[in-house]
Amino acid sequence: MSSAPLLEVRGLNAWYGESHVLHGVDLDIREGETVTLLGRNGAGKTTTLRAIMGILRRREGVIRLRGKNLLSLPLHKVAQAGLGYVPEERGIFASLNVSENLTLPPTVSDSGMSVEEIYTLFPNLYERRSSQGTKLSGGEQQMLAIARVLRTGAKVILLDEPTEGLAPVIVQRIGDVLVELKKRGMTILLVEQNFRFAKKVADRFYLMEDGRMVNSFPGHELDARMDELHEVLGV
């Protein structure tokens, strides 16, 4: 590896109540890289993101962002340290309008995009800025959820299944946005089931099974490994 990873996860174990759900997960993301977690439903992908963010509190191991250990921080300090979270359920607030939703997360560094830049990137959010957040279409809500963390200046964005349940044309649009973000040098940890989508943006893949990392390979090997993946993922 050329440089020290921006986000480094070592031996991460996590529990939902009594059940042990992550078993010694290791993960590295270098600055500017997009890394995608693959795995079946229930393999622990979302759980890994939640454990890294600290939403899942019962954890052991090491999570370092630029060398700073995040594990002991209270939940709100994790975001302040530079992790931006886009949850699977998108988490758009019904009692806030689009513009309030967009500006809800406090900025954590001055490297974030301005509201104007965001509205240029997502013109339909600008048009609907006074609408109730949950009145947006699924695709628009996903855009809003991504836009929300871009404004904060987070160093690493954790993106959980952004294409789930969306029409192909919207998936295409979100793909374009991610490519644009990569160009801007964003670091992204993506959970994704959609290979074709992930292939367009991912530099590296991790494969998860039963709460463990079972394999990792660079993005260009995806096509060559298709058969193997189909077997593991059962798709």
Residue 22 CB, nearest approach to another protein (Å): 18
**Which residue is it, tokens 């607030």?**
93
Contact call for residue 52 and another protein (CB under 8 A): no
Kindly state whether residue 32 participates in binding another protein, applying the rule CB under 8 A: no
Of the two residues 4 and 94, which places its CB atom closer to another protein in the complex?
94
Smallest Cα–Cα separation from 71: which of 59, 83, 56? 59
If binding is defined by CB under 8 A, does position 76 make contact with another protein? yes
Using the structure block, give the residue that is written with the tokens 């010694």: 24
Q: Which is nearer to another protein, 84 or 211 (CB)?
A: 84
| Binding-site string for another protein from residue 106 to residue 125, where x marks contact by CB under 8 A and - marks none | x-x-----------------
Longest dimension (CA), the chain: 48
Please, what is the minimum distance in Å from the beta carbon of residue 72 to another protein? 16
Structure tokens at 128: 């609907």
Burial class for 114, CB neighbours closer than 10 Å (0-12, 13-18, 19+): exposed
Residue from 105, 131, 164, 173 binding another protein (CB under 8 A) = 105
Pick between residue 113 and residue 222 the one whose CB is nearest to another protein.
113
Report if residue 87 touches another protein, rule: CB under 8 A: yes
Type of residue found at 61:
G
Nearer to another protein, 82 or 211 (CB): 82
Nearest to 26 by CA among 13, 41, 40: 13
Q: Considering only residues 80, 124, 193, 194, which one is a binding residue for another protein as defined by CB under 8 A?
A: 80
Strands 34-39 and 83-86: unpaired
- Residue 208's nearest CA partner among 54, 25, 6, 15 is 25
Binding site for another protein (CB under 8 A): 53-55, 74-80, 85, 87, 91, 93-96, 100, 103-106, 108, 148, 152
